[in-house]
Structure 1
Amino acid sequence: MDVEEYVRMHLAAGDDEESIIKSLAERVGEIKRTKPAYVQAFSRAVVEEVKNTRGLSGDFFSFDPALVKMGEFGVGSRGKGDFFAHREIARIIGKTRASVGVDEMDDAGAVRACGEYIVCTVDGMHSRLSDYPYLAGFHVTRATLRDLYVMGAKPVMLFSDIHVADDGDVAKIFDYTAGITTVGEAMNVPLVTGSTLRIGGDMVLGNRMTGCVGAVGVAHHLTARKSTQPGDVLLMTEGAGGGTIATSAIYSGFPEVVEETINLNFLVTCEALIKDPVFSQIHAMTDVTNGGLRGDIFEMAETARCRMVVREEDTLPLVNHKVREMLEVLEIDYLGVSLDALLIVVPESASGAVTRVISSTGVTCREIGYVEEGKPASVLMKEGKEHDFQPRFRESAYTPVKKVVDTEVGDFEEMKKGVLRASEAAIAKKERVLTQLRERGVLHET
C-alpha cells in the first residue's frame, strides 16, 4: 500500500485532514498490526508531509502529464504500447556516441573503449515473482546475461539492485542474491556490486519486492540487430521460458512446469558460439523475450529495415513439450510470450556450421525463416499462406489476472497523443536545464 498516494488522492478529492488521518490509520493498522498510538502518529505525519508538497511548481517539482496510465498504455507488457514508449525514451536520450545506442532497440548497448566494445545491459526482475525471490534472482540474472551474449559479448561482471517494501522479510534479500549468484557462479561471472533499499522508504507498506540485475561484457564482434541483411536465414534454439513461463505456471496451477525453466541452455549455447570461428559470420542475435517472436521479429524488421518471414511449422517443435502442453491448456499464444530461445540471423552459407556448434552443446536448433528485401515487415507463414504477425497491444495474457486486464484496451491512437506530448515536454525540460547549466558555467561543451 502506497500511503503517500493514498493521502494525495484523498486531499485532491477535498476530504478533510482528520477524516483522512482516521481512514489511513485504519488501513495502516490492517498491515502493521502494531500499537494504535504509533499508527495514529504515523498517519498524521504522512498527511503533514504530503501537505508540505502541495503547490510546488517548476521544472524540478512537476512534470507535464500524459494523462495516460502505465497499465492503460501497456508499458512493460511487451506489446505495441510498450514498444512505442521505449522509442520515445530513446528519443529523449537522443543520438549519442555509442556504437549501439538505445535508438536501435537492441538487447544491450555498446561503446568503443581501449580497442574493445564495452557492452552493458540491465533487466528488471519479473514483478510477479516477488514472493519467490530465488526464482526472481535466477531468472533476471539469466535474462541480463542473455542480453550480453546476443550482442556478442563475453560477460565479465554482474551488478544488482533490490528493493523490498517496509514489511518485507529481510530473508528475501538473501534468497534473491542466492538466485543471482547461482547463475553467476555457474557461468563464472562475479557479482561485484549492488544496492539494497526499501520500496518508497516508509511510505510503501506490505512485502512487495522488486529489483534488477545488470551486466557488463567485452566484445570483439558485435551481433546487433541492425546487421541483419536480405538473404540471411533465421535459426532458433529450443526454449522453455524464464520468468514469464515460471510466473504463468505458478499462478495458473502448473507449479511442476517451473523446473523446466531452471536451465542454462541459452548461456551455454552462446559461450560455445563465441568460442568458435563461425561466430564471426553471424550477423545478429536476439533472445525471444520481448512479446515473444511476434515482438522480437517486428522490432528486428524495423531496426534492420528488412522483411522477415517466419514459418510456424518450424517454430512449434522448439517449444519445450511440457511448456507447450501448459500453454495449449491455458490457451496462451506461444508466439506472443517469452520462450527464452536464441534467435540467430546468419548467411545461409554459415547456417550448417552454426547449427552444428549449437547441437554439440546438446541444444536443439533449426531454421525457422528468412530475411528478404522489401518494406520492413514481420510475416508469419502458416500452411503456405501469409498471416498477421504484428505484435498485439500486450504480450500474450499468461496469468488469470492478465486475461482479465487484456479485455480492457483503450483508444491507442488517442493515448499516443498524450504520450507524445509528455515526451516532448521532457525533451524541452532537459534542454532548458542544460541551457541553465551552460549559462552558469557549470557545463562545458566538449
Structure 2
Amino acid sequence: MDVEGYARRSLNQGRASQDIISDLADRIVEIKGVSRDYALSFAKAVMVEVNATRDLKTDITSYEKAGVSMGMFGVGSRGTGDFYAHRKIAEIIGKSDATVGVEDMDDAGVVQAGGQYIVCTVDGMHSRLSDYPFLAGFHVTRATLRDCYVMGARPVMLFSDIHVADDGDVAKIFDYTAGVTTVGELAGVPLVSGSTLRIGGDMVIGDRMTGCVGTVGVAEHITARRKAAPGDQLLMTTGAGGGTVATTALYYGYHDVIEKTINLTFLHAADAILKSELLGSIHAMTDVTNGGLRGDVHEMAKTAGLRFIVEEEKVRGLIDPDVYRMLYELEIDPLGVSVDALLVIAEPETIYGVQALLSKMGVESSIIGRVEEGKAEPVLVRNGREEEFSPRFREAAYTPLKKLVEKEEQDFDYMKNQVDRAAKAAIEKKTRIIKKLSH
C-alpha cells in the first residue's frame, strides 16, 4: 500500500486531515502489525511530508498529467495501449546516433564502439511473481538474455536491480538473486553489478517485490527486425513459456506446468546459431514474448514496413503439449501470450540450414509463415483463409483477475489524445531544460 498516495488522494477529495490520519493509522496497524500509537505517529509524519509538497508547482517538480492511468491504458500489458505508449517514449527520447535505437522498437539497443556492436537490453520481472522470487529471477534473466541473443549478440555480463517493499522479507533478495545467477552461470554470463532498494522507502508498506535484469553483449552482425526482407520465411522453435505461463499455472492451479518453463532450450538454440556460419545470412530474429505472436509480428511488420503472414496451424504444434492444454482449457489465446519461442527470419536456404542445426540439437522447429511486399501489416492464415492478425488492447488475459479487467471497455481514441498531450508536454519540458543548461 502506498501511504503517500493514499494521503494525497484523500486530501484532494477534501477530507479532513485528522480523519485521514485515523484511517491511515488503521491500515498501518493492519499491514505492519504495530501499536496504534506508533501507527498514529507514522500517519502524522506522512501528512507532514505530503503537506510540505502539496502546493509545490515548479517546472522541475510538476508535470502535465494525461488523466489516464497505467492500467486504463494497458501499459505493461503488451497490447495496443502498451505499444502506443512505448512509441511515445521513443518520441521523447528522440533520434540518436545509435545503430539500433528506441525508434526501431526492437528487443535491444545497439551502438558501435571499439569496432564492435555493443548491445544492451533490460527486462522487468513478472509482476505476479513477487511471492516466488526464484521464479522471478530465473525468468527475467532468461528473458533479457533472449533479447540479447536475438540481436545477434553474445552476452558478456548481467546487471540486476531489485526492489522490495518495507515489510518484505530480506530473503526475497537472496532467492531472487539465486534465480538470476542460476541462469547466468549455466549460460556462462556473470552477474557483475546491480542495485537493491525498498519500493518507495518508508512510504510503501507491504511485501511486494519488483525488479529487472539487464544484459550487455557484443556482436559483429546484428539481426534487427528492420532487416527482414520480402521472400524471407519465418522459422519458429518449440516453446513452453516463461514468466507469463508460469504465472498462469500458479494462479489457475496448473502447478505441474510450472516445471515445464524451467529450461534453457531457447538460450542453447540461440547460442548454437550465433556460433554457426549461418548467423551472417540471418536477416532478423526475435523471441515470441510481447503479447505473443500477435504483438511481435505486428511490431515487426510495422518496423520492417512489410507484410508478415503467419499460418496458425503451424504454430499450434510448436507449443509444449501441457502448456497448450492449459491454455486451451482456460480459453487463453496461445497466439496472444509469451511462449518463449525463437523466431528466425531469413531466406529459405538459410532457414533450412538453421532448421537442420536445431534438429541436431533436438530442438523442434517449423516454418510458420513468410514475408511479402505490400502493406505493412500482420496477417493470420486460419483454416486456409487470411484474416486480421492484430494485437488486442491487452495481451491475452491469463489470470482470473486479468480476465475481469479485460472486460472493461475504454475509449482508446480519447485516451490516445490525452497521452499525446502529456508526451508533447514532456518533450517541450526536456527542450526547455536542455536549453537552460546549455547556456
Could you say whether these structures have the same fold, taking a TM-score greater than 0.5 normalized by the shorter chain as the test?
yes
Q: Does 1:104 align with 2:109?
A: no
- Trace 1:148-227 onto structure 2 (pairs within 5 A): 148-227=148-227
Once the two structures are superposed, residues 353-383 of structure 1 have per-residue CA deviations (whole angstroms, 9 ceiling, x without a partner) of 1101111221101100000000101000112
Q: What's the offset of the Cα at 1:386?
A: 0.5
Alpha-carbon contact 2:166-2:206 (below 8 Å) kept: yes
- Trace 1:5-84 onto structure 2 (pairs within 5 A): 5-84=5-84
Question: Unaligned regions of 5+ residues in structure 2, if any?
Answer: none
Question: Unaligned regions of 5+ residues in structure 1, if any?
Answer: 440-446
SS at match of 2:350: helix
Once the two structures are superposed, residues 99-131 of structure 1 have per-residue CA deviations (whole angstroms, 9 ceiling, x without a partner) of 000100000000000000000000000000000
Q: Aligned equivalents of 2:74 and 2:409: distance in 1? A: 9
Alpha-carbon contact 2:239-2:318 (below 8 Å) kept: yes
Q: What's the offset of the Cα at 1:35?
A: 2.3
Q: Name the counterpart of 1:429.
A: 429
- Trace 1:85-164 onto structure 2 (pairs within 5 A): 85-164=85-164
SS at match of 1:334: coil
Q: Name the counterpart of 1:303.
A: 303
TM-score using structure 1 length: 0.98
Q: Does 1:250 align with 2:240?
A: no
Matched to 1:394, the amino acid is R
Q: Aligned equivalents of 1:267 and 1:154: distance in 2? A: 11
Q: Name the counterpart of 1:420.
A: 420
Q: Would you identify which runs of 4 or more consecutive aligned residues in structure 1 move more than 3 Å?
A: none
Q: What's the offset of the Cα at 1:37?
A: 2.0
Matched to 2:90, the amino acid is A
Matched to 1:410, the amino acid is Q
Q: Aligned equivalents of 1:158 and 1:426: distance in 2? A: 31
Q: Aligned equivalents of 1:356 and 1:253: distance in 2? A: 37
Q: Aligned equivalents of 2:90 and 2:368: distance in 1? A: 30
SS at match of 1:120: strand
Q: Aligned equivalents of 2:350 and 2:192: distance in 1? A: 37
Q: Name the counterpart of 1:325.
A: 325
Q: Name the counterpart of 2:400.
A: 400
Q: Aligned equivalents of 1:351 and 1:15: distance in 2? A: 65
Once the two structures are superposed, residues 233-292 of structure 1 have per-residue CA deviations (whole angstroms, 9 ceiling, x without a partner) of 000000000000000000011011000000000000011000110111100000000110
TM-score using structure 2 length: 0.99
Q: Name the counterpart of 1:385.
A: 385
Q: What's the offset of the Cα at 1:40?
A: 1.2
Q: What's the offset of the Cα at 1:54?
A: 1.2
SS at match of 1:309: strand
- Between Structure 1 and Structure 2, how many residues are aligned? 439
Q: What's the offset of the Cα at 1:149?
A: 0.1
Matched to 1:397, the amino acid is A
Alpha-carbon contact 2:344-2:351 (below 8 Å) kept: no
Q: Aligned equivalents of 1:31 and 1:330: distance in 2? A: 33
Q: Name the counterpart of 1:265.
A: 265
Once the two structures are superposed, residues 146-199 of structure 1 have per-residue CA deviations (whole angstroms, 9 ceiling, x without a partner) of 000000000000000000000000000000000000000000100000000000
- Trace 1:328-407 onto structure 2 (pairs within 5 A): 328-407=328-407
Q: What's the offset of the Cα at 1:409?
A: 2.5
Q: Does 1:231 align with 2:231?
A: yes
Matched to 1:277, the amino acid is E
Matched to 1:230, the amino acid is P
Q: Aligned equivalents of 1:419 and 1:399: distance in 2? A: 27
Matched to 1:182, the amino acid is T
Once the two structures are superposed, residues 384-421 of structure 1 have per-residue CA deviations (whole angstroms, 9 ceiling, x without a partner) of 10122011010000000000000013100010000000
Q: Aligned equivalents of 1:434 and 1:84: distance in 2? A: 26
Alpha-carbon contact 1:159-1:192 (below 8 Å) kept: yes
Q: Name the counterpart of 2:277.
A: 277
Alpha-carbon contact 2:230-2:371 (below 8 Å) kept: yes
Q: Aligned equivalents of 1:241 and 1:262: distance in 2? A: 9
Alpha-carbon contact 2:68-2:415 (below 8 Å) kept: yes
Q: Aligned equivalents of 2:163 and 2:333: distance in 1? A: 32
Stretch deviating more after TM superposition (70-79 or 348-357): 348-357
Alpha-carbon contact 2:123-2:144 (below 8 Å) kept: yes
Q: Name the counterpart of 1:443.
A: none
Q: What's the offset of the Cα at 1:16?
A: 1.2
Q: Aligned equivalents of 1:105 and 1:136: distance in 2? A: 24
SS at match of 2:278: helix
SS at match of 1:290: coil
Alpha-carbon contact 1:72-1:409 (below 8 Å) kept: no
Alpha-carbon contact 1:73-1:415 (below 8 Å) kept: yes
Matched to 2:353, the amino acid is A
Q: Aligned equivalents of 2:98 and 2:409: distance in 1? A: 36
Q: Aligned equivalents of 1:29 and 1:351: distance in 2? A: 61
Alpha-carbon contact 2:28-2:34 (below 8 Å) kept: no
Alpha-carbon contact 1:158-1:215 (below 8 Å) kept: yes
Alpha-carbon contact 1:125-1:136 (below 8 Å) kept: yes
Matched to 1:215, the amino acid is T
Please tell me the root mean square deviation across aligned C-alpha atoms, in Å: 0.6
Q: Name the counterpart of 1:444.
A: none
Share of identical aligned residues, percent?
61
Q: Aligned equivalents of 1:364 and 1:68: distance in 2? A: 44
